[in-house]
């Protein structure tokens, strides 16, 4: 699938960062449904399928620091998603956390040129050139039920907190989150279709907010 998909005049660009090793997974179906709804609304989707592009999530020592130059693969990602109005993270919940590859993408790409000592200054006055002022949406799935996860102390609040932290340090708008639980092999097609319809509705609402800017 091409990384950029658009139909008609574009009034907004959505960078969809999807992370799942199985191309036929529910996660990837969600990512494609989001992109399809974006184009149906006359806007542009940029899909970054981390496993299919073979993204290297390992942060290198020479990449750390505000003066470090992005590695060629990181610069390629910055070029691909630069100018996006919305950043959508689509991922499964594994061991109550995002997959390592997605975390590596955040560290290497979102965090390019960004260091912890700058956090305090950044929160007070700076704007992140890639992410500052943009919208953040997280769409997650888990095999366990939300009730079970919350009983273990690992409910969707953990993902919401993770995304809220990203929004705060990168100076993004208040994030939105959509979670689908009990997604396992053999989940009825009717349930999957209902989930994808909910994704399309969420996407349309996001597109409408961008169009009203």
Q: What is the pLDDT of residue 8?
A: 38
Contact 33, 88 (CB under 8 A): no
Where are the domains positioned within the chain?
Answer: 4-211
Q: What is the pLDDT of residue 10?
A: 45
Q: Are strands 13-18 and 176-180 parallel, antiparallel or unpaired?
A: unpaired
Contact 139, 159 (CB under 8 A): no
Q: What is the pLDDT of residue 150?
A: 74
Q: What is the pLDDT of residue 97?
A: 86
HEC string for 68-90: CCCCHHHHHHHHHHCCCCEEEEE
* DSSP helix/strand/coil, 61: helix
Contact 112, 77 (CB under 8 A): no
Question: What is the sign, positive or negative, of the torsion defined by CA atoms of 1, 52, 32, 45?
Answer: negative
In terms of Cα–Cα distance, which of 33, 177, 166 is closest to 93?
177
Q: Which CATH superfamily hosts domain 4-211? A: Flavodoxin domain (3.40.50.360)
Distance CA 22, CA 35 (A): 18
Q: What is the pLDDT of residue 128?
A: 81
Q: What is the pLDDT of residue 7?
A: 40
Planar angle of CA 186, 192, 198, nearest 5 degrees: 160
Q: What is the pLDDT of residue 65?
A: 76
Tokens of 53: 């592009």
- Taking the chain (213 residues) in consecutive chunks of 10 residues, what is each chunk's mean pLDDT? 44 94 98 98 97 97 86 97 97 91 96 66 62 93 81 66 87 90 94 98 95 84
Q: What is the pLDDT of residue 198?
A: 97
Tokens of 64: 């750390």
Neighbours of 66 (CB within 10 A): 10
């Amino acid at each position: 699938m091409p990384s950029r998909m658009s139909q008609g005049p574009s009034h907004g660009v959505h960078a969809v960062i999807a992370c799942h090793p199985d191309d036929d997974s529910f996660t990837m179906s969600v990512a494609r449904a989001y992109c399809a709804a974006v184009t149906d609304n006359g806007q542009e989707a940029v899909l970054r399928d981390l496993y299919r592009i073979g993204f290297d999530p390992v942060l290198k020592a020479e990449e750390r620091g505000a003066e470090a130059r992005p590695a060629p693969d990181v610069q390629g990602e910055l070029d691909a998603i630069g100018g996006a109005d919305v950043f959508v993270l689509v991922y499964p919940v594994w061991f109550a956390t995002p997959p390592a590859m997605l975390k590596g993408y955040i560290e290497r790409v979102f965090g390019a040129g960004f260091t912890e000592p700058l956090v305090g200054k950044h929160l007070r006055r700076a704007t992140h050139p890639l992410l500052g002022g943009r919208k953040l949406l997280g769409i997650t799935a888990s095999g366990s039920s939300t009730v079970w996860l919350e009983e273990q102390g690992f409910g969707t609040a953990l993902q919401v907190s993770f995304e809220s932290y990203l929004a705060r340090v990168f100076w993004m708008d208040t994030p939105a989150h959509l979670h689908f639980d009990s997604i396992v092999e053999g989940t009825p097609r009717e349930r999957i279709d209902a989930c994808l319809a909910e994704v399309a509705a969420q996407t349309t609402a996001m597109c409408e907010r961008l169009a009203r800017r």
